[in-house]
A and B are shown apart, each in its own frame.
Chain A
Amino acid sequence: MDKETGTLTEPAPARPVLVALDFSTDSEAAFLWGAKHAALISAPLMVLHVIHDPVENPGFYNKEGESTLLPIEDIAEEKMQDFFLNVAKAQPQLKNVQLIDRKLAIGLPAGRIVEVANNENAQLIVMGTRGRTGLSNLLLGSVAKKVLQHASVPVVVVKSEPSEPED
């Protein structure tokens, strides 16, 4: 019901919650937060992985034991599949994990995340952060920071539980 006119209107389709993944532990935490939040507000969940080999540690898409070059996009798809298999195994309470809308985009992570969020009319961006510190943070910056700067929708940055410090 439209309060001002008092007429019945077609409800607008819910805008998705976009979770950006880099398949790290932090992005798993971000995915779980995003999935819970989307369920809470009854919004569709959409996940995005930006295919980008990290410049400080290249070879992210090299396949262990593979002796020939394979398309990076195919390996990224496999990584996405593995990520969801692991999540489904670790979080059996999550239903229909395999049916979530998945997207892959090639490019620079921060720009692509903002671009996909705009294109898909997302209401929220959820992402993990690797928490780079010191000189490395100053020189290389962080994807999360850039997304926060450029996104036109709210951004939630999730950090995973810190692991037990080693003795």
Chain B
Amino acid sequence: MDAPLDQIALFTGLFGGLALFLFGMDIMTDALKRATGHYLKDILAKLTRNRFMGVGVGAFVTVIVNSSSVTTVILVGFISAGLLSMAQSVSVIMGANIGSTITAQILAFKVSSIALPAITVGFAVSFLAPSKAIKQYGRMFLGFGFVFYGMSLMSDAMAPLRSHQPFLDVLVNLDTAIAAALAGAIFTAVIQSSAATTGIVIVMAGQGIIDLEAAIAIALGANIGTCATAGLAAIGKPREAVRAAVVHLLFNTAGVLIWIGFIPELAAFVQGISPSSENLVGAARAAADAPRQIANAHTIFNIVNTAIFIGFTAHMARLVEWLVPDRPLKIEESATPKYLDKLLLSTPSVALNNVRFELDRMGDQVVAMLNNGFTAAIHPTAHGMSDVIAQDVSVDALHRAIVTYLGKVSSSGLSEADGRDVLGLLEVANSLEDIGDRVALDIATSARKRVDEGGKQDKKRLAQLENIQQNIVTSLKDAIRSVVQHDSELASDVRKRKVGLKRLRQKFERGSAHALSGSKANLTTYIREMELLEILNSIFRTARAIARVQLAEDKSKDSEGVEQED
């Protein structure tokens, strides 16, 4: 008779091992994303119109981030932030499934013996390495070690189940492919990791607890369950992003439906092509060979599915557009941020890039405020100033959203370069908000006083003042553009405009002083003109400060390059 099952040891081993596995995956994915995040957006930007290239990109990114659902979540984030289209994402999603086969293949290696050394080395590197970049590689090793240590704990805990009759009775319920696939789908959706399901299936098959066909069916089901992650990420997102998540579900479900009737054939095929343990016989041999066979089956069905569906990407996208129709058109609210998507927080360099786009939007609003405020200030009735003050409410709301978002980005542990970028972008956001306040408060106050005093404006001097204002608006636009587009040449050009503007200002001051001939009306006009000039000048100083942020970023990049060369 078998020894009684130690249920505490079983559950702690199984769930503790699963927890370590998931924790390891999380650390590894996070470290991989942080080490390579800045390449991700460049890789995706180079997506061509060629769907085969898209498949390659999807596979590559998935290998980098170690999870097909993470790739799809990144895609959903990019689409939601308006950087990528659903049509572009279809082939990338297909490629993501191919990329996930690498994880399954790695899991099929019996590398539990190197789990603890990997943890030791990973821990040492992540704590002792001098640079953040090398620390990330240490964390990758640490995560890798945890994944395999978790698998070995689960394997040890499950060993007694081989002969435990109640458990074997439960498994009988999984003897149909559909039931097994369903179990795989539900389990994966709950733990949000198809790699973990594949890992457990490999462990169970390796212990001889389940046979190859059941293992393949569960792994197939995991392909459906993994769609839950992107599905959850797409809730409340724009329709294009929801469509990408539906493409993922549709493609993976269709793939499973194709294979579900051919599992015995697939099992026989992978048994034929996978390496076999010649020195073992019977159940022991089947158990020893199963992990690689499962990984190979996983690889085959994902590659074949992509090969089948690659010709139908357009039709699949059209079907999804039909399934997920547009919502009615909404008027864009200027106070609501457009590009600050929470899903991008896991890839800080992409999130920071989107902060630049949001700053661009905020900048447009500030420039409009400056134009409208100035027009209102020189208008005899100061008409339109209430609109300018209303615009400031929108600018303030965007400022708050950007600062909050940057706070979230910086709380996720940044590289030195990204950390500096956060500070620079905060300065730009604060500067733009400051300009907005100066227009809404100082220019508005000056305009009100001028209306009350009823001073007259000389046409020639007004034209000079307008010229100065236009120069400052151009400089502000260019300063914002230099930050958004990382254009140091433009930033440097803005900094150089100080001399030219000083000349214009002095010329205007001389003219105003000359016109000051003692009458009270001329005196009040002079005071208001000088007041407006001073406000405009302070706005120009802030524009120059914005340009300096871009120059400082460029300088720190250069010095980093020199350090690396050293």
Contacts and interface: CB of A to CB of B under 8 A. Distances in A.
Interface of A: 52-62, 66-74, 105-108, 111-112, 115-116, 119, 139-140
Contacts of B321: 55, 108
18 contacts: A53-B86, A53-B87, A54-B87, A55-B313, A58-B85, A58-B87, A62-B45, A67-B42, A68-B41, A68-B353, A71-B81, A71-B357, A105-B329, A112-B329, A115-B328, A139-B318, A140-B314, A140-B318
| Pairs of residues from A and B, 10 with the lowest C-beta to C-beta distance, nearest first | A53-B85, A58-B87, A59-B49, A55-B317, A56-B314, A53-B87, A107-B326, A69-B83, A58-B88, A55-B87
Nearest to A141: B318
Nearest to A56: B314
B45 A71 contact: no
A71 B328 CA distance: 22
Nearest to B361: A71
B48 A59 contact: yes
Judged by DSSP, the binding face of A is loop
Contact of B41 (A60, A61, A69, A116): A69
Contacts of B91: 58
Nearest to A111: B326
Judged by DSSP, the binding face of B is helix
B85 A67 contact: no
B353 to A, nearest CB: 7
Given A55-B321, A106-B240, 16 more contacts: A52-B85, A55-B314, A55-B318, A58-B49, A59-B48, A59-B49, A67-B46, A68-B42, A69-B41, A71-B339, A72-B83, A105-B329, A107-B326, A107-B329, A112-B329, A139-B318
Contacts of A59: 47-49, 88
B78 interface: yes
B133 interface: no
B315 interface: yes
Contacts of A70: 45, 83
Interface residues of B, number: 38
B37 to A, nearest CB: 13
Q: Which of A55, A106, A108 gathers the greatest number of chain B CB atoms within 10 Å?
A: A55
B383 interface: no
Given A55-B313, A58-B88, A140-B318, A71 B83 contact: yes
Interface of B: 41-42, 44-49, 51, 54, 78, 81-88, 90-91, 238-240, 313-315, 317-318, 321, 325-326, 328-329, 339, 350, 353, 357
A119 B83 contact: no
A62 B48 contact: yes
Contact of B315 (A61, A119, A139): A139
Contacts of A55: 86-87, 90, 313-314, 317-318, 321
Contact of A66 (B45, B240, B329): B45
Contacts of A72: 82-85
Contacts of A71: 81-83, 339, 357
Contacts of A53: 85-88
A112 to B, nearest CB: 7
A108 B41 contact: no
A70 B239 CA distance: 19
Q: Which of A54, A57, A74, A107 gathers the greatest number of chain B CB atoms within 10 Å?
A: A107
B349 to A, nearest CB: 10
A107 B239 contact: yes
Contacts of A108: 321, 325-326
Contacts of A68: 41-42, 45, 353
Nearest to A61: B85
A53 B350 CA distance: 21
Nearest to A105: B329
A60 B49 CA distance: 8
